Amino acid sequence: MNKEKLTIEQVFSLDLPNIILYAAPVMIGLVLLEWFYSYRNKKDYYDGKDTISATFIGLVNVGMSAGIKVITFGIILFFYNLVPWSIPNTWWAYVLCLFWLDFWRYWAHRVAHENRFWWATHVTHHNSEKYNWSVSFRLSWTQHIKVIFFVPVVLAGFHPVVFFIVHQLAVLYQFWIHTEYITKLPKPIEFFFTTPSHHRVHHATNEKYLDKNYGSTFIIWDRIFGTFMPEQEKANYGLTKQVNSYNPITLNFHEWSDIVKDVKRSKSLREAYAMIFSRPSELEMVKAKFREKEN
């Protein structure tokens, strides 16, 4: 039996809560508390300008999310209405959706590190040399195009309401794992869930830690797909080539700017394609190969 198609008016009539907006004051309060505690204990975990920049980036991102809400809902509804099946809107649907969404968050995150175009939508989150709760605010203003990675979630039949609530909870989960203060947790938790220990590895520039631990809520995907790395040596944070700026515009668009410059310098369509879609960690090697060919 075909399900009844939803309209965007029907979904908006439900007046869904913006969980992230409600949580924002609590998160900002916790950041201030962690900042004060670090200052009192002479821990070099915070940089004032860096934190203010991260907070500004985060608040603009929340505003952008609200501003393009209709577009995002429209995309999700379009694909939900494409399929004739649906999963009942029950409590266990939220649990299933969390796992299915997290699976696709893993791949979206991994692609964002292994493809330069998508890296440009994510690099903002990594360009701080500190690691604290304010880093969780540093979400790129162009990250919203990654909604296409979550189309399989609604194609599975999860109701858009279930999707949006679970997605907000998954985003909120990222807040607590951005801290130096929480060390390793009991083994069952460390084995199954993404923890601060795992995520410190992900943000590190240490060679052995690069491109590891993409899991958002669950670390099991990294264990399954071979990208898991336990925390061993102390992590150094930031980018392998630092931006050295607190300007939110620079932090959000420096990689896009570099892509445009590299494409303009390209001598062929093949080179231009490589400048856009190469693996970021291999970009210099790719550039060197094209320069050799020119000579």
Query: What is the secondary structure of 101-120 as a DSSP string?
Result: HHHHHHHHHHHHHHSHHHHT
Is the pLDDT score of 236 beyond 70?
A: yes
Give the residue-averaged pLDDT of 222-240.
96
pLDDT tens, residue by residue, 21-75: 889 899 999 999 999 999 999 999 999 999 999 999 999 998 898 888 888 888 9
Is the pLDDT score of 285 beyond 80?
A: yes
pLDDT tens, residue by residue, 67-77: 888 888 889 98
Q: In this structure, how many other beta carbons lie within 10 angstroms of the beta carbon of residue 110?
A: 18
Give the residue-averaged pLDDT of 252-256.
97
High-pLDDT (> 90) share of the chain, %: 80
Per-residue pLDDT at 295: 65
Give the residue-averaged pLDDT of 205-228.
97
For residue 131, give the amino acid letter.
Y
pLDDT class of 194 with cuts at 50, 70, 90: very high
Give the residue-averaged pLDDT of 235-247.
94
Per-residue pLDDT at 227: 98
Give the residue-averaged pLDDT of 258-275.
95
Is the pLDDT score of 176 beyond 60?
A: yes
Give the residue-averaged pLDDT of 110-121.
97
Output the DSSP codes for the chain. -PPPPP-HHHHHTT----HHHHHHHHHHHHHHHHHHHHHHTT-TT--HHHHHHHHHHHHHHHHHHHHTHHHHHHHHHHHHHHSS-----SHHHHHHHHHHHHHHHHHHHHHHHHSHHHHTTTGGGG--SS-SGGGGG---TTGGGGGGGGHHHHHTT--HHHHHHHHHHHHHHHHHTS-SS-----HHHHHHB--HHHHHHHHB-SGGGTT----SSBSHHHHHHT------SPP-BS-SS------HHHHHHHHHHHHHHHHHH-SSHHHHHHHHHS-GGGHHHHHHHHHHHH-
